[in-house]
Amino acid sequence: MTEKLKQIIAKAEHKDSGTFNEFLIVPTGEKYDGFWGVNGFDQMILLAKKRVENEWCILTNYSDSFHLIKIHSVNFDIPSDLNCVRVFLDESIEIHGVASSVIAYGKEK
């Protein structure tokens, strides 16, 4: 984990819902052992923000999966200064009630 990513995580406030279009998926290196028990996946930190915002928030630091539903365009990259997967959507999506799996809903097409 890069120093820049550590600083982002340290400053990020926790939220369990909101409307976002940019995400960072950060592996924790720890085995998931939550609601479903050990399942062969690692836990992840999922950070999110809106396109016009500069501050990231933490949606979860214990989930094992992130589901995007009804999304038009999804872009994935790995910024060198963060060394984690960034997901960027062309439209904002809504997330409510983060649990062991994060489910994000786009608009009906």
Secondary structure of the chain in HEC code, one letter for each residue: CCHHHHHHHHHCEECCCEEEEEEEEEEEEEEEEECCEEEEEEEEEEEEECCCCCCCEEEEEEECEEEEECCCCEEEECCCCCCCEEEEEEEEEEECCCCCEEEEECCCC
Residue 38: per-residue pLDDT: 86
Give 73-108 pLDDT, tens digit per residue. 899 999 999 999 999 998 888 887 666 667 676 765
Residue 62: per-residue pLDDT: 80
Q: Look up the pTM and report it.
A: 0.85
CA dihedral 50, 41, 11, 49 (to 10 degrees): 0
